[in-house]
Amino acid sequence: MNKRVAPYSLLLLFAVAVASCKTQSPTVSTADTRVKESQGVYQYRDEDPTVKPFFSDRVGVTGRNGMVASAHPEASQVGLDILKAGGNAVDAAVAVQFALAVVYPGAGNIGGGGFMVYRESAGKSYSLDYREKAPGQATQNMYLDSAGNVRQGLSISGHLASGVPGSVDGMVEAHKRFGKLSWAQVVQPAIDLAEKGFAMTERDATGLNRIKTDLNTINPNKTYFLKTAVPTDTTTWHKGDLLIQRDLAKTLQRIQARGRAGFYEGETARLLAEEMVRGKGLITEEDLKNYHSVWRDPIQATYKNYNVITMPPTSSGGVALVQMMRFTEPYPLRRWGWNRDSTVQVMIEAERRVYADRAKFLGDPDFVKVPATQLMSPDYLRTRWTDFSWAKATDSRSVRGGTIPGYESLETTHFSVVDKAGNAVSITTTLNGGYGSRVVVGGAGFFMNNEMDDFSVKPGAPNMYGLIGNQANAIAPNKRMLSSMTPTILEKDGKLFMVVGTPGGSTIMTSVYQTVLNVIEHGMTMQQSVNALKFHHQWLPDKTIFENGAFSDATIDALKSRGYILEKLSNTLGRMDCVLIRPDGSYEGASDPRADNTARGY
Ligand code: GLY
């Protein structure tokens, strides 16, 4: 049964917020000039006409019968074709997951894992945890030397970095329970793409060129992800080159013919286990046979007249999203305006507290007691907000909660699907780092994950992106590593409203948080919200990173005067793929203009 978190007491938090205003009032725009909703399109207004809050002016894709938004045009097309062929949202999602494993090898995968949040058109919701697990021979100190120091790189690169993959089992489970078309039909498009090849985008080509040295070093046998297998060779992939993956096609055919046994047993399992022996990895045929994904009760929590349906632990994302939204709920963000200093200040302070909690309390719920309900409760959040001050940024060193998280990989991927009946799927899936461990399973033709780095390999020791954790996320055999992935669905007044998610490691939760608030508080369309520039704070390091243009000069000055440290990024935040249900029942598909992301609908 779905767990519903008790509605949040607005009055309780508002009382705290008002009390906190005593020393200095927030900057509130006198006239609500920043939000205009004529024809439902948000018009940004600010004193500074040079400020542009959007990364691009891309407009959303409209459909009435189905919508797919994913990281790659080929994968979105596969999803759309499945919907048009009479498949439901789960059929399309399974087909997209397999298609991404072919056309988006940097993050799409069968050698990794992920999370699915599913809402049936009738209103019942589910979540599926197909996160990777530590191998049976894993030990808490497996990445430490005899002096207890971290052996750098072992949890990141090569065979020892991989957890037992969950994606194939996840897709089998999802399809078995909710699919309508045959299994063979939903796997076939990926086989076709692998067998016949697909024309690479510029980004596809650059991605593979970037990892050429690793591919050569880690995979002594030629892999087709290299144009040539010679490390010193200057031959590189170019836009339009055809990438054909015959070994992967055969692996997918085994999965098509035998379902989960096509991956976790027989030829694929043998090839994977042999690859591990060759590279001194730990995953065995026994580990593969024992892997099973888990249906979990999704988190459901109210925010005003919305119901947020999101991923419970093993992800930290759902708990964090609900905490952040509830910290924000009592404040008049719409009146203050998008990314005005008061709006940003409240959001930063919410983020600071949430990430401190993440580091302290979150881990695999099958191994540690995760106090998720308490962390989202009004009483608890009220105590967390008592040191909030308009006058001054809270000092992260004074925020108790845990140890220092840092940046995780941006190389995850998210996709959203809604079918004609209104069934909705939100999936985030990953290899962790780009192209995972960079190990390609010999003869089976797919990348393995480096998800073991999402464990806390040693309390207080940062992982490759600066992430630090504690005992709750320590390595143990068969345990799942903590994730930030936040596939989410929102209902408005009891009806399907939004399907949302993104890659971005530790920035996932804050990007989802902003994307949701941009629509429901600031009146943006789905695509505008995806286009909107973003910012991120994660407790420690105690600074706010932001996309160039996300803050006006006035916002920057006001925040700096209160002690906030701001850092403009040279790169971008988020790769959102979302769907919004408009008041007239049509779907708006929104894909992130920061990469190859594409929405397709009809
Ligand atoms: N590997 C990224 C995440 O699961 O959060």
- The pLDDT value given to residue 469: 65
pLDDT 10s digits, 476-509: 999 999 999 999 999 999 999 999 999 998 899 9
- Token pair 């009483």 is found at 379
**Residue 131 assigned as binding residue:** yes
- pLDDT at position 470: 74
| pLDDT of 155 higher than 90 | yes
| C-alpha span between 45 and 33 (Å, rounded) | 7
pLDDT, tens digit, 9 for 90 and up, residues 39-62: 356 766 665 666 779 999 999 999
In a domain, 258, yes or no: no
Given a contact cutoff of 8 angstroms between Cβ atoms, the answer to whether 499 and 579 are in contact is yes
Ligand 1: centre distance to CA 376 (Å): 21
Per-residue pLDDT for 225 more than 50?
yes
pLDDT at 44: 67
CA distance 45 to 43: 6
Query: Is residue 197 over pLDDT 80?
Result: yes
Whole-number pLDDT of residue 506: 87
- Condensed to tens digits (0 to 9), the pLDDT of residues 551-598 reads 999 999 999 999 999 999 999 999 999 999 999 999 999 999 999 999
The answer for residues whose C-beta is within 8 angstroms of residue 433's C-beta and 6 or more apart is: 156, 409, 411, 450, 453, 464
Q: How large is the average pLDDT for residues 114-137?
A: 98
Per-residue pLDDT, 409:
40
pLDDT confidence of residue 47: 55
Q: What is the CATH number of the domain that holds 510?
A: 3.60.20.40
Greater model confidence, 437 or 229: 437
Per-residue confidence (pLDDT) for residue 50, from 0 to 100: 65
Centroid of ligand 1 to alpha carbon of 573 (angstroms) = 15
pLDDT at position 25 is 37
Q: What is the mean pLDDT of residues 315-325?
A: 98
Q: What is the pTM of this model?
A: 0.93
Decide if 505 is inside a domain.
yes
Residue 45 lies in a domain: yes
**Residue 484 annotated as lining a ligand binding site:** yes
**Is residue 321 in a domain?**
yes
- Residue 530, in any domain of the structure: yes
Spatial neighbors of 197 by CB under 8 A, at least 6 apart, are 242, 243, 244, 245
223 is known as an active-site residue = no
What does the alpha-carbon distance between residue 337 and residue 13 come to, in Å, rounded to a whole number?
Answer: 20
Could you tell me the pLDDT band of residue 231, with boundaries at 50, 70 and 90?
Answer: low
Instruction: Please provide the DSSP assignment of 283-297 as one string.
Output: --HHHHHH---EEEP
Check whether 29 has a pLDDT greater than 50. no
Pocket lined around ligand 1, Cβ cut-off 6 Å: 408-409, 412, 430, 432, 454, 483-485, 505
Q: Which helix (H) or strand (E) holds 545?
A: strand 544-547
| 339-342: Cβ within 8 A, 24+ apart | 339/53, 339/533, 339/535, 339/550, 339/551, 339/552, 339/555, 340/27, 340/29, 340/34, 340/555, 341/26, 341/27, 341/554, 341/555, 341/558, 341/559, 342/26, 342/27, 342/28, 342/390
Q: Which residue has the tokens 């009891």?
A: 494
Which numbered atom of ligand 1 lies nearest the CA of 316? 5
Ligand 1 center to residue 433 CA distance, Å?
9
- Among 170-174, 181-185, 472-476, the minimum mean pLDDT is found in 472-476
User: Contact 310/326 with Cβ under 8 angstroms?
Assistant: no
Instruction: Count other C-beta atoms under 10 Å from residue 195's C-beta.
Output: 16
**Domains identified in the chain, total number:** 1
> Residue 348 above 90 pLDDT?
yes
In a domain, 526, yes or no: yes
Average the pLDDT over 439-463 and give the result: 90
Judged against a pLDDT cut of 80, whether residue 239 lies above it is answered with yes
Q: Which residue has the tokens 């089998």?
A: 172
- Which domain does 312 fall in, by range? 3-60+296-392+485-601
Is there a contact between 413 and 97 (Cβ–Cβ < 8 Å)?
Answer: no
Q: What is the mean pLDDT of the chain?
A: 89
The neighbour count for residue 312, using CB atoms within 10 Å, is 22
Q: Which of the pair, 351 or 411, is modelled with greater confidence?
A: 351
Do the domain assignments include residue 272? Answer: no
Confidence of residue 11 (pLDDT cuts 50, 70, 90): very low
| Amino acid (1-letter code) at residue 298 | P
Confidence label for 32 from pLDDT (cuts 50, 70 and 90): very low
Predicted confidence (pLDDT) at residue 24 exceeds the cutoff of 80: no
* More reliable by pLDDT, 472 or 450: 450
Is the residue at 435 inside a domain?
A: no
Give yes or no for residue 431 having a pLDDT over 90. yes
User: Which of 268, 412, 555, 598 is flagged as catalytic?
Assistant: 412
35 touches 42 (CB < 8 A): yes
Kindly give, in sequence order, each residue whose CB lies less than 8 Å from that of residue 495, ignoring residues fewer than 6 positions away.
Answer: 581
pLDDT for the residue numbered 471: 84
Question: 319, 464, 483: which to mutate for ligand 1, most atoms within 8 A of CB?
Answer: 483
596 among annotated binding-site residues: no
Distance 508 CA to ligand 1 centre (A): 9
| Pairing label, strands 113-119, 424-430 | antiparallel
Task: Report the candidate in 353, 391, 338, 398 with the shortest Cα–Cα distance to residue 563.
Answer: 391
Query: Is 431 marked as a binding-site residue?
Result: yes
Q: How many residues does the chain have?
A: 602
